[in-house]
Structure 1
């Protein structure tokens, strides 16, 4: 009897399904799909007020083909931002900012790799530290000091994100960055020598105190042979005859080239002494002619060098930081 009742219930259920299908035009009623899970809210990065400041400063002296390598990592300069915000060391001041790069061997995901580290220098001074650019490298025989405009560079006002609808003169902290208007797309139309000049550029600055090498007695020698003789000669410490005989003994200088080599060294020494004399005279004249307010500003000028801070997605640069800026600015007063 129990089995018969079970068959009756099944038949009744089948009949109900057929009746329901008939009511729906012959189609069985679909089961309701479970509700779709609500999507997780998408995280939107809110840019910080000064987040793009370091990118606004042209990385002077960086080869054009390497500039994009700066963006290989998501570098973070919150230390620079905090220094310029309320409560920071540079808040309320006039600051001139320029960028550069330093290639260093770093640990990246457990492997050693050459990384182009961006660095930023902030100059605390009420006046522009200079309107000139130095062009110098070991590959170039002569140093050039040219106006910024000759290399399409200038100090450009920077306005923080939250203040971009405000008047520049109303800002508490005034920031200027070194900008360059040379378009990379136009480089192919320039002579190679002109393009290479950008690679050797560095911000120029003439300190009131003499540079460390102003009384240097060493000259760099690059004597044109095959291969060339590359060495240093100190006109106070080195004896000319002994110096030349040593080169002959080492078989880098042929015996019949001794007199020519001696004349070459003497000419380089004369050039260097002339350069040092002109530099001292130019410095003295510049200081004598300087406006008293500008002179006072330069006496109190301060350089701050910033490296990117460590984050989860950037290499650690703490072991390669150095105060040295360049041959003109020399060393930063503070490393940040």
Structure 2
């Protein structure tokens, strides 16, 4: 009995403790689905790396559920530190931020337009003028642009720069519906309707109202001089037509002030002869035609055989200029006689403001080249901003 009991005890112990009998029992194999220690189960497969990174960038990546092991247990996951991502902040656009860019720079050569916008000009002074307490707050304003080439310095280098300028006209009605075309190269001056040059006053829509209905724009207080002529279409135009855009000036006629034409006694002369035309200015009050012509011959600007034709040409130009002056004076008197008191009051209250870009690290400092002169029609601004 004791020997049999002993054998029974030994047999039971062998069943409960199989690890103590390495000879009779093989070593347990590692589960097939369980990863090796040096290769954690949570590491993404190489072919899925791009997909996982895309999910992380979107902030929506979720850990992929791993398959359970054959014994029903879940494999352990290694801890992966999340990469720290910096939050991107975008500067909120100001309501009138693009106002100066929407205003057409009248008279700027087409091939110079890119130079105007090569810098990030700061016209925050124009925006602030429309805020409460500003010069243009709660007023009806008409804006047109122009450019002034000036030698200015930027980042230690001085060069001629096309400086954008915005002129603001405070008026209850459009200051003019015409455009003047005049330059030293052109013999005559033209006053044309704006629409003939594809220009017109249009309401400016602030950024916060870009989705507004058209009917709401009727209450707009800001109007800009816009041009619908596109650079791409210039190839279809004649050279003379293209040049007209370069000589354009916003036209303004003030009935209470004498026009420069009415006061001037100077006539520009462009005498067309070969091989080179004669260009000069003749003042019919100060110059004596005979002496004036002889001096041109002496300076070899005019040949002697062209003396009489030149004198006849000058006389004709003087007659035309005097007639134009007389007609301008009569037109002004008639306009004043027919003008209502309300319109007269509007002209008297008109104000011109000239805005230059303020100093900023992104563009040249133009504070030393500011001028109150607008153009030959508008004269000088009431205030430079």
Query: TM-score range with shorter-chain normalisation?
Result: 0.7 to 0.9
Q: Is the 8 A contact 2:129 2:135 kept in 1?
A: yes
How many residue pairs end up in the alignment?
315
Residue in structure 2 matched with residue 272 of structure 1 by the alignment: 321
Which secondary structure does the structure 1 equivalent of 2:262 belong to?
A: coil
In the alignment, does 2:204 pair up with 1:194?
Answer: no
1:302/1:333 contact within 8 Å kept: yes
Corresponding position of 2:343: 294
Shift of 1:100: 1.1
Unaligned runs of 5+ in 1: 1-21
After superposing on structure 2, the runs of 4+ consecutive aligned residues of structure 1 that deviate more than 3 Å are 22-27, 29-37, 163-166, 168-171
How does 1:122-271 map onto structure 2 within 5 Å? 122-164=168-210, 165=212, 167-169=216-218, 174-208=221-255, 209-225=257-273, 226-271=275-320
Please tell me whether the aligned partners of residues 187 and 269 of structure 2 are also in contact (alpha carbons under 8 angstroms): no
User: 1-side partners of 2:236 and 2:137: how far apart?
Assistant: 43
Residues 283-315 of structure 1: CA deviation (Å, up to 9, x unaligned): 222222223322210111100000011101110
User: Cα–Cα, structure 1 residues 223 and 169, in superposed 2: closer, same or farther, change >3 Å?
Assistant: closer
Counterpart-to-counterpart distance in 2, 1:91 and 1:187:
38
Contact 1:127–1:294 under 8 Å retained in 2 = no
Aligned to 1:305: 354
CA distance in 1, matches of 2:36, 2:358: 70
Structure-2 separation of matches of 1:312 and 1:234:
48
Q: CA distance change for structure 1 residues 191 and 170 in 2, over 3 Å: closer, same or farther?
A: closer
| Offset of residue 317 of structure 1 | 0.6
Any conservation in 2 of the 1:219–1:234 contact (CA below 8 Å)? yes
Aligned residues of 1:133 and 1:145 also touching (Cα < 8 A) = yes
User: Which of 107, 110, 121 is residue 153 of structure 2 equivalent to?
Assistant: 107
In the alignment, is residue 96 of structure 1 matched against residue 161 of structure 2?
no
Distance in 2 (CA, whole Å) between partners of 1:148 and 1:251 is 42
Q: Which has the larger radius of gyration?
A: 2
TM-score of the pair, normalised by structure 2 = 0.76
Comparing both chains, which one has the higher relative contact order based on Cα–Cα distances under 8 Å and sequence gaps of 6 or more?
Answer: 1
Task: Summarize the alignment of residues 308-327 of structure 1 with structure 2, pairs less than 5 Å apart.
Answer: 308-327=357-376
Q: How much has 1:126 moved relative to structure 2?
A: 0.7
1:269/1:114 Cα in 2 relative to 1: closer, same or farther (>3 Å)? Answer: same
1:56 and 2:96 correspond: no
Supply the RMSD in Å over aligned alpha carbons: 2.3
Q: Give how far 1:327 is off.
A: 1.1
